[in-house]
Structure 1
């Protein structure tokens, strides 16, 4: 997803689009639900998908503007981000998850990742200071703060805030990359600079890299700000947003594959393959563009053998109805690329698009969003969130002919106005799918299918989806 209420006016993704739309409580035009779509809050699913649990958003996050966001997992706990903070769930019994604690710490998006006993929280809204009691402040104020907050979660019932690190243009998303010693690197993605913002100046063709000594997190600091696009990246195609291709001014999301020393960057107008052998000097191997069908390169997923990358396009910024016949099946979709060649001669080669085959109502924001692999040896299968398009499980083993094999979906939140909602992130962890629904809270799904059942045997201690594990070794 993209923006947030009260953020920089130039930001052009979800809540930037949404601020005058869903959160204001009315749509730009009077949308109507299509006759063949679900009714308000009606649930539909494939036969192999089982909805085993739901926990509504806890009281501090109950408002429509408190959007649930990303997931991280450690042991028997799931950590769910929200624009107002984060929630810790006990998932030792997936069919009966429980809320352990709620930490209120406003600062969208509150993207989360975990290393050891530390949790990293992204702040991408200008705040009066770095505390959890901060207030919104215009980005034009030099004293405004945004960046990464670090919490000690050794006691999950009482997370302790220990450190903050300010970064240029804030932290829209963060990607954890382990170092060679007792340290991790946090790759901070942010974008859309403005000459009026003292801490977010154009051209901003960089990312921030924070080094965190795990035993001494108070010493965390920015150690590099590599320029990824010395030529400025994609200049955009000049068409009006959201249909036009975005100019590249930073990256929206980075997915590292540390075991392979690779990283895939979804960088607004560019899709990029990086070598991260040197953790503080990411190096571009190859980049691609799709000015015809991709408006905003949003996120990326490798297959387990690192021979493919799935890139998502967040057409409409996550705040528009793009899963319909008018938009079609090639916009607001996934793009499957093969990685061909070896070493520095590796290239990303386009093979196909994938988009959910169900039409959504005009009051449902729907577009490709965050997902993860289901670990099935010899096959490439992933689960993915589509906002109010629901949760989809699809197989891209054949790069040219991807196909959906399971799905879960709710009807719109309203049949008269567009209210942002649906699944932000849907990830597979230790045999179950966990969906962080923006308005409805945590959903736990169980796909029972001979094609995905082998994934139930794979167990992890930690999962940060943007730091992809190698499920089956080299």
Structure 2
């Protein structure tokens, strides 16, 4: 049934019985309380039950019968090799996003960040660990600067801060900036407070300056620095030669409208199960085309960023039938498609099963029709991993990047405990998975899994929330042409022009 940790039978058939059993037990709305949420779930996404002993028994029976991998067991398709894993060390918090520059990988963690030397991907070396708590520590790099998002209320802007109620005016949230010119000794050089903190951020280089689009949401009238309406993004300008002067230069309103709701999705109860739009979760920019795609809770948007400090929304779409929380976006190579992800349940629920189905907690593929400010987003299809997961495994579409193959649309993506999926959407109407890697359930029904997986210079790098830093090698005729592409830097939310060596 299983040999050399490779599942040989068809994935959908392999997991089918577990999905039926879990449905019968009514366990699919279970919340994994130990799972860190990648996003605050919308009103309609909150679970009703915790995992029961019967759910755990179902999973144990499925493992025993071979229907799903065993606890912490690694399984993968034939075309993927798992070449290294570096466990968490001095930073015990949840691992989050990744960025790359030269021979280094930068890994966010709720307790700070790590820097890996990946010159030899089979033996990554930790060259620096920085303790600087503040969820979720979304991370990016540009030149000698490293950027870190803080989206938790802190006592001050230092790396020695403690948690403090968001209702206190003195509390701090926002962007932190480090000098990494000495890669082994990052130096904290600037902090910029932003409204509602910084859940994620996106870099947009502009000559000698770097603009930072700060995404945040969930305002409340009781929060002194995060009151509604909060229907836009903070734009920070960072002079590369004087990062200590970084400051917010604008707050463009992306969803203009009347009252506290603005012009975004009103969410529940108007649209049951959909998050109310009170800002953006993540924005991906495509500087070579002056385009950006925003995943903004209840809305997906396309923007003109020809003026970096003043992005302009040129189209706005909703999917009130199937999308609960618009989480992130990825352009294809030709910039005529966008993949949006739906983080159903905030990343803490088991949603990769038969009852939830293939259209919720999935990717939505949109064609871009028209040019310039006349461009429009048109929905084509959904993609979700075909491998059903256990009722104890938090699983939903999460962070990924393109694998740059000319003439094809292929990306790699994390699915929390659903593992890593490589899938193709060249035919937008018929996307398909072409490779996968995953671990079996964590012990005792704990939440976790892979947060981010990105292609960088011929390898796949993954930051697993619980298990650490993974490196994989993909060997497939459809993706091998990407090995001729070389990048000097990669922040997945700042999509580069992929040039061959």
Flag whether TM exceeds 0.5 (same fold).
Answer: yes
Distance in 2 between residues matched to 1:336 and 1:273, nearest whole Å: 14
Distance apart, 1:28 and its partner CA: 6.8
> Which residue in 2 is equivalent to 1:238?
269
Q: 2:204 aligns with which of 174, 177, 199?
A: 177
- 1:19-418 mapped onto 2 (5 Å cutoff): 27=51, 31-32=55-56, 33-34=58-59, 35=62, 36-58=67-89, 60-62=90-92, 66-179=93-206, 181-231=207-257, 232=262, 233-238=264-269, 244-414=273-443, 416-417=444-445
Distance in 1 between residues matched to 2:295 and 2:83, nearest whole Å: 33
Distance in 2 between residues matched to 1:128 and 1:222, nearest whole Å: 21
Contact 1:176 1:185 in 2 (8 A): yes
Q: Could you give the per-residue CA deviations for residues 238-280 of structure 1, whole angstroms, max 9, x where no partner exists?
A: 289xx70101000000000011000000000000000000111
Contact 1:363 1:412 in 2 (8 A): yes
Distance in 2 between residues matched to 1:77 and 1:440, nearest whole Å: 20
Distance apart, 1:345 and its partner CA: 1.9
Distance in 2 between residues matched to 1:194 and 1:37, nearest whole Å: 43
Unpaired stretches in structure 2, ≥5 consecutive residues: 1-32
Q: 1:437 aligns with which of 459, 464, 472?
A: 464
Distance apart, 1:39 and its partner CA: 1.4
Is the partner of 1:368 in helix, strand or coil? Answer: coil
Distance in 2 between residues matched to 1:69 and 1:303, nearest whole Å: 24
Contact 1:17 1:319 in 2 (8 A): no
> Which residue in 1 is equivalent to 2:7?
none
Distance apart, 1:305 and its partner CA: 1.0
Is the partner of 2:335 in helix, strand or coil? Answer: coil
Distance apart, 1:38 and its partner CA: 1.6
Distance in 2 between residues matched to 1:442 and 1:77, nearest whole Å: 13
C-alpha distance 323-238 of structure 1, shift in aligned 2 (>3 A) = same
Runs (4 or more) in structure 1 with deviation over 6 Å come to none
Distance apart, 1:237 and its partner CA: 3.6
Distance in 2 between residues matched to 1:133 and 1:193, nearest whole Å: 26
Q: Could you give the per-residue CA deviations for residues 426-452 of structure 1, whole angstroms, max 9, x where no partner exists?
A: 000000000000000000011100100
Distance in 2 between residues matched to 1:263 and 1:392, nearest whole Å: 24
Q: Which piece of structure 1 moves more, 296-305 or 32-41?
A: 32-41
Q: 1:461 aligns with which of 488, 497, 500?
A: 488
Distance in 2 between residues matched to 1:447 and 1:472, nearest whole Å: 20
Distance apart, 1:328 and its partner CA: 0.6
Distance in 2 between residues matched to 1:334 and 1:472, nearest whole Å: 27
Distance apart, 1:31 and its partner CA: 2.7
Is the partner of 2:483 in helix, strand or coil? Answer: helix
In the superposition, the TM-score normalised over structure 2's length comes to 0.87
Distance in 2 between residues matched to 1:304 and 1:315, nearest whole Å: 27
Unpaired stretches in structure 1, ≥5 consecutive residues: none
Q: Could you give the per-residue CA deviations for residues 388-411 of structure 1, whole angstroms, max 9, x where no partner exists?
A: 000000000011000110000000
In the superposition, the TM-score normalised over structure 1's length comes to 0.92
Distance in 1 between residues matched to 2:77 and 2:217, nearest whole Å: 38
Contact 1:189 1:207 in 2 (8 A): yes
Query: What root-mean-square deviation, in Å, do the aligned CA atoms of Structure 1 and Structure 2 show?
Result: 2.1
> Which residue in 2 is equivalent to 1:446?
473
Rg larger in 1 or in 2? 2
Distance in 2 between residues matched to 1:30 and 1:327, nearest whole Å: 19
Distance in 2 between residues matched to 1:165 and 1:73, nearest whole Å: 23
C-alpha distance 28-161 of structure 1, shift in aligned 2 (>3 A) = farther
Higher helix share: 2
Distance apart, 1:27 and its partner CA: 3.8
Contact 1:377 1:472 in 2 (8 A): no
